[in-house]
Amino acid sequence: MTCRPGLKVGLLGGSFNPAHAGHMHISRLALQRLGLDQIWWLVSPQNPLKSTAGMLSMQQRIKSAKRVANGTAIQVTAIEASFRTSNTVDTIRNLNSLFPKTKFVWLMGADNLGQMSRWRHWQTLMANVPIAIFGRPTYSLRALNSLAARHIRRQRVRAQRFRGLALRKPPVWCFISGPLHPQSATAIRQAGNQGAHLNQTNDKRSNSS
């Protein structure tokens, strides 16, 4: 992957097990509200906080993500596998080293903010990349009262400064409250229709071509 100097890139990491419309919703919202140039979907080899049960293969998850990410501003990458780590703090450190002139913003849902204090060296992560949190149904209030949110509450920027987030020195973060999207990978897996979901996504893309 190559980047021109000053490129503003949103990083959406996850298992993408499978990728779905909710990932697209967050990505489009980030491009619009944060003024980003690109979104990179970082397909994780294995989230250390998630079970391997029901986990699709890396190849299947990348294929799923590429099917859903049908916009040129979204790039799907397995670069995290080359780092031999699934810890976000290490991923950010490596990306900052590889692309020193790129302005990254870490994107995540409110559910992840709620459990962020369980992440490895989470304070270091917050000190090394701007973060944009996206509201999710039933999670937002709890997330905003979490240990991680309280830790950097004074560094939160308000709506009128969202578009400059990528250019601000961390720790800095924002909370984007809507509109919300109800779909989740967990619900798709529990319904037992990963394959059907992938086929349906592919059909929709073909029909729109």
For the chain, list the domains and their CATH numbers.
Answer: 8-208 (3.40.50.620)
Residue 201 C-alpha from the chain's centroid: 20
pLDDT band for 178, please (50, 70, 90 cuts).
confident
Whether the pLDDT of residue 142 is over 60: the answer is yes
Mean per-residue pLDDT, 56-66: 94
pLDDT band for 141, please (50, 70, 90 cuts).
confident
Whether the pLDDT of residue 126 is over 90: the answer is yes
Tens-place pLDDT, residues 36-60: 999 999 999 876 666 677 889 999 9
Q: Is the dihedral of CA 162, 121, 140, 151 positive or negative?
A: negative
Whether the pLDDT of residue 120 is over 60: the answer is yes
Could you tell me the CA-to-CA distances from 84 to 79, 90, 189 in Å, in that order? Answer: 9, 9, 26
Q: Do residues 21 and 120 touch, judged by C-beta distance below 8 A? A: no
Which residues have a Cβ under 8 Å from the Cβ of 73 and sit 6 or more positions away?
27, 31, 36, 37, 38, 39
pLDDT score at 23:
93
Q: Which residues pair with 74 in a beta bridge?
A: 39
Share of the chain above pLDDT 90, in %: 67
Tens-place pLDDT, residues 5-38: 899 999 999 999 999 999 999 999 999 999 999 9
Query: Where would I find the H helices in 35-135?
Result: 58-68, 79-83, 88-98, 110-114, 122-126
Mean per-residue pLDDT, 81-106: 94
Q: What tokens does 113 get?
A: 């903010």
Whether the pLDDT of residue 64 is over 80: the answer is yes
pLDDT score at 180:
59
